[in-house]
Amino acid sequence: MLGVGARVLSVAAMMMAYPIAAAAQSGNDEAILRQVIKANSEGTCPDTLMAPYLRGMCLQNMPAIGQQLSALGAIQRVDYLGSQSFPNFGPCEIYRVTFDKGSLIWTINLGSDGKIAVLSYN
């Protein structure tokens, strides 16, 4: 889930302890990452993009997530940093998203249904 709660932060910290595979030119999940960041910055947790558990965590942490993301401004750039596999989460793509007023590192994994199953930032 998004990096708001203590559990989320510990998951993000655990995820960053694993090495990232060599970066390629682009990842497969950039478009859906952009969509979910935009939706979250507008205060929504779309069920069309998010798996049920992730959406529940998003709803529980709104409006804090929306306020944090909207304060960063518009997305200026998305850089794919590589992929990484985590116990319990499987393969994830790692991105640096640069906004008008800062940047965040995002981890994303899509489930077999094409919805986001894992999403975190720090």
Q: What is the pLDDT of residues 11-63, one digit of tens each?
A: 443 444 444 444 445 689 999 999 999 999 999 999 999 999 999 999 999 99
Domains along the sequence of the chain with CATH? 6-121 (3.10.450)
The reported pLDDT for the residue numbered 82 is 96
Q: What is the pLDDT of residues 71-93, one digit of tens each?
A: 999 999 999 999 999 888 889 99
The reported pLDDT for the residue numbered 89 is 83
How far apart CA 42 and CA 11 sit, in angstroms, is 24
The reported pLDDT for the residue numbered 116 is 97
Is residue 107 within 8 Å of residue 92, measured between CB atoms?
yes
How far apart CA 23 and CA 77 sit, in angstroms, is 16
The reported pLDDT for the residue numbered 12 is 40
Find, among 66, 121, 65, the residue nearest to 95 by Cα: 121
How far apart CA 36 and CA 48 sit, in angstroms, is 10
List alpha helices for 49-97, DSSP H. Answer: 52-61, 64-72
